[in-house]
């Protein structure tokens, strides 16, 4: 079952989501929600989806960056983004415990702000502590595009949207982004 993707302006997108208990994580309701979120993410298509984006104010997000999503990008862009496939996984109650010192800028879009993009500076590396879909503790060390996805989704769980972090002068429609990609030395991204 596909879920409705909420757009900016919905209050749940600006609230801090609540922490889930072990019992809640393992419940049929949350396990079913994860499956529906995965279907919704694949249909969008997107690389990450946080529960607030579908109206659930809980600390739960999913990620999956399929190889086919970067298939049409020039190899130099894939390399610049440090983009490699990320298998499907779930993060629950995540915390970024360490940010790398190096920052990188790329354009980001969001399923909850359809049709627009902006240039966002983020840490190239992060360490995240969270629980998985079976409530098992997990530590994720990520770099490149994967680190960007984690930061973007964890922001959603804290009521932050990429427009809060972007260089406001780069905000553009996807159509204009595609027309003018690479202008002012910035390379395109999705």
- The whole-number pLDDT of residue 139 equals 98
Provide the token pair at 181: 């990609």
1-34 per-position pLDDT tens digit = 899 999 999 999 999 999 999 999 999 999 999 9
Tell me which residue has tokens 């769980």. Answer: 157
| pLDDT over threshold 70, residue 183 | no
Burial tier of 117 (Cβ tally within 10 Å: 0-12, 13-18, 19+): buried
CA distances from 183 to 90, 102, 115, 180, 186 (A): 36, 23, 19, 6, 6
Q: Does 39 qualify as catalytic in the annotation? A: no
Provide the token pair at 148: 């960007």
- The whole-number pLDDT of residue 188 equals 36
154-169 per-position pLDDT tens digit = 999 999 999 999 999 9
Q: What are the residue boundaries of the structural domains of the chain, listed by start?
A: 11-185
| pLDDT over threshold 70, residue 185 | no
Tell me which residue has tokens 């600390």. Answer: 59
- The whole-number pLDDT of residue 76 equals 92
CA 128 – CA 73 distance, rounded (Å): 28
DSSP string, 92-125: EEEEEEEE-S-EEEEEE--TTSTTEEEEEEEESE
Determine the CATH number of domain 11-185: 3.90.45.10
Are the C-beta atoms of residues 19 and 60 closer than 8 Å to each other? no
Provide the token pair at 124: 């190239």
Residue 32 phi, psi dihedral angles, 5° rounding = -70, -40
Of 125, 129, 153, 175, the active-site residue reads 153
| pLDDT over threshold 90, residue 187 | no
- The whole-number pLDDT of residue 184 equals 41
Are the C-beta atoms of residues 43 and 37 closer than 8 Å to each other? no
């Amino acid at each position: 079952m596909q879920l409705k993707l909420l757009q900016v302006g919905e209050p749940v997108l600006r609230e801090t989501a609540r922490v889930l208990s072990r019992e809640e994580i393992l419940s049929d309701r949350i396990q079913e929600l994860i499956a529906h979120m995965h279907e919704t993410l694949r249909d969008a298509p997107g690389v990450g989806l946080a529960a607030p984006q579908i109206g659930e104010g809980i600390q739960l997000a999913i990620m999956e960056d399929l190889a086919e999503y970067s298939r049409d990008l020039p190899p130099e862009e894939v390399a610049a983004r440090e983009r490699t496939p990320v298998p499907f996984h779930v993060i629950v109650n995540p915390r970024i415990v360490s940010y790398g010192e190096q920052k990188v800028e790329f354009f980001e879009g969001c399923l909850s702000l359809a049709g627009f993009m902006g240039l966002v500076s983020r840490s190239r590396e992060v360490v995240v502590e969270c629980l998985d879909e079976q409530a098992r503790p997990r530590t994720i060390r990520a770099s490149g595009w994967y680190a960007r996805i984690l930061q973007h989704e964890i922001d959603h769980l804290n009521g932050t949207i990429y427009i809060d972090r972007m260089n406001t002068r780069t905000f553009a429609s996807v159509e204009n982004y595609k027309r003018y990609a690479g202008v002012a030395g910035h390379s395109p991204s999705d």
